[in-house]
Amino acid sequence: MLGQDFLRAARLANHEVTGLAHRDADITDPTAVARAVESHAPEALVNCAAFTDVDGAEHESGEAMRVNADGARNVARAAAEVGASVVYPSSDYVFDGAKDSPYVESDEPMPLSSYGTSKLAGEVDTAAVNPRHFIVRSSWLFGLGGRNFVETMLELGADQDQVLVVRDQTGSPTYTAHLAEGLVRLISTDAYGLHHMAAGGQCTWYDFAVEIFERAGVDCTVMSATTADLARPASRPAYSVLGTQYEDAIHLPDWQDGLRGYLAERAA
């Protein structure tokens, strides 16, 4: 999702940009990554490759770490070797959700899951090998380029009269097209370091589902459940809204604007 939207946003901003698929450069293979980066000699490298299956990471923690941490280190090092900056998109799941106000960049990470642990390790490894790094935490991504919560809800709503969604997890659903535009703006600066960049506003997954059906005109009742009711393999933070402590931070549109954009793009 993010990779495709970043390519589009970068081209619209008149950047010369190349997208590499897994077949072009497996990020867990340092030699392949170095060779690919050398051949293109970029000024900036955006690492949109990731192991994103939160529940699957509980059973495949080694693979999640291999991609999200070892792979991130390979990408960041290859960028450093050609004098390029590197962008590492990270996650709100590096936090434990115990806070009751938006997390800012100086808050201490404390992941609850293997996925969150692997993303935090990727942040650390990226920063360790490339001083020109942008580590960008975002939240609850959805976009046209891949599987996401909006699409899942629309598919379920087309086939059944009601769905069951958790009401006790709160975050900021972020449209990847908006995040991509933010990343394009960020790489044009020298504001290296850690950044939070997620949609404005906040909601629960239940609220999000209700809004999806209302805006899409789908007649489906949303039933609410607790996280404990659904008993998923991975623990999730109850509250993972991201804020920022920087006055000159890049702010994204509200999550409702992202949903409107997604549905319009989907319809087109």
In a domain, 159, yes or no: no
88 is catalytic: no
In a domain, 209, yes or no: no
In a domain, 79, yes or no: yes
Phi, then psi, of 120 in degrees rounded to 5: -65, -40
Is residue 42 within 8 A of residue 92, CB to CB? The reply is no
Phi, then psi, of 171 in degrees rounded to 5: -155, -160
In a domain, 112, yes or no: yes
Amino acid making up residue 73:
R
pLDDT confidence of residue 91:
97
Give mean pLDDT, residues 180-203: 97
Res. 69: pLDDT tops 90? yes
Say which residues have a Cβ less than 8 Å from residue 185's Cβ, sequence separation at least 6: 250
Is residue 98 within 8 A of residue 240, CB to CB? The reply is no
Among 44-48, 63-67, 71-75, 146-150, which stretch is predicted with the lowest mean pLDDT? 146-150
Domain total of the chain? 1
Give mean pLDDT, residues 202-227: 96
**Helix 255-267 / helix 149-159 crossing angle, nearest 10 deg:** 60
Res. 9: pLDDT tops 90? yes
At 208, the pLDDT band (50, 70, 90 cuts) reads very high
Report the alpha-carbon distance of residue 142 to residue 182 in Å, rounded.
15
In a domain, 33, yes or no: yes
CATH code for the domain of 19: 3.40.50.720
**Helix 255-267 / helix 205-216 crossing angle, nearest 10 deg:** 40
Is residue 154 within 8 A of residue 148, CB to CB? The reply is no
In a domain, 216, yes or no: no
**Per-residue tokens: 256:** 């409702």
pLDDT tens digits, residue range 155-171? 999 999 999 999 999 99
Report the alpha-carbon distance of residue 210 to residue 218 in Å, rounded.
10
At 102, the pLDDT band (50, 70, 90 cuts) reads very high
Helices (H) and strands (E) in the chain, counts: 11, 10
pLDDT confidence of residue 231:
87
Report the alpha-carbon distance of residue 134 to residue 190 in Å, rounded.
9
At 173, the pLDDT band (50, 70, 90 cuts) reads very high
pLDDT confidence of residue 146:
85
Instruction: State which residues form the domain around 31.
Output: 2-146+173-200+240-255
At 145, the pLDDT band (50, 70, 90 cuts) reads confident
Q: Please tell me which residue in 88, 103, 115, 206 is annotated as part of the active site.
A: 115
Say which residues have a Cβ less than 8 Å from residue 188's Cβ, sequence separation at least 6: none
In a domain, 45, yes or no: yes
In a domain, 227, yes or no: no
**Per-residue tokens: 13:** 């901003």
- Mean of the per-residue pLDDT values of the chain: 96
Give mean pLDDT, residues 177-200: 97
pTM of the model: 0.95
